[in-house]
Amino acid sequence: MFDETQVRVAVAFHSAYGHTARQAEAVADGARAVEGTTVELLAVDELDDALWSSLDDADAIVFGAPTYMGSPSAGFKIFAEGTSAVLKDNLRWKDKVAAGFTNSGCMSGDKLNTLVDLVMLAAQHGMIWVGLAQPGGWSSSGGSVEDLNRLGSWLGAMAQSDSDVGPDIAPPATDLRTANELGRRVAIVTRAYRRGADLEQVAAHQAVSA
């Protein structure tokens, strides 16, 4: 039996210059604010045993990378390729909850492609993807840059960082709020999911009753 009282969320991210790290912190804060949630913020720079062990222990993993040349940064891709050993180990992360976020210099900047990459990574692991579930903001005459989900992304959280300022200034608070909301949703959904039936038990039961 699993412990229903605590949900573990890991935020596994890469950030070369610190902007995406700010977004990762906001995701972590959002998850942490949900009662009964333990959060680990994990930079994927070092692929050591401590990293794999933390990820193995997590109920949910939120993947995050800056968008470089229209896809996840090379630093994140090294990590993603490293997870192939997990996949080969009998899909060790199967049925964990997954979500994702990305940050880049342009408003669009081809960030969607990065999120699609993160979804693909989760799908290869048999993980269960959770999107942002927020209406698109900043999309009407009454809208504002301050709107939640101002970049109108549903697959995951997007942020934009002006290229000439440091992570103390970018991404702006509006995008950090959106990231925070993703973290909150992941924690809530994971909690509800863990309260539900163990998927293997359901499958075994259905096989017996068929």
Ligand X SMILES: Cc1cc2nc3c(=O)[nH]c(=O)nc-3n(C[C@H](O)[C@H](O)[C@H](O)COP(=O)(O)O)c2cc1C
CB atoms under 10 Å from CB of 19, counted, come to 26
Task: Output the six-digit token pair for 197.
Answer: 């039936």
CB of 50 to ligand X, least distance (A): 22
CB of 29 to ligand X, least distance (A): 17
CB of 104 to ligand X, least distance (A): 3
Closest C-alpha to 116, from 188, 78, 150, 65: 65
Cβ proximity to ligand X: between 67 and 174 the closer is 67
Task: Output the six-digit token pair for 46.
Answer: 């070092």
3-state secondary structure of 208: helix
Residues lying near ligand X in the complex (CB under 6 A): 15-20, 66-70, 103-106, 109-110, 161, 163
Cβ proximity to ligand X: between 18 and 82 the closer is 18
Which residue's Cβ has the minimum distance to ligand X? 109
The C-alpha atoms of residue 156 and residue 12 are separated, in whole angstroms, by 14
Q: How far apart are the first and last CA of the chain?
A: 25
Cβ proximity to ligand X: between 19 and 96 the closer is 19
Cβ proximity to ligand X: between 40 and 110 the closer is 110
CB of 6 to ligand X, least distance (A): 30
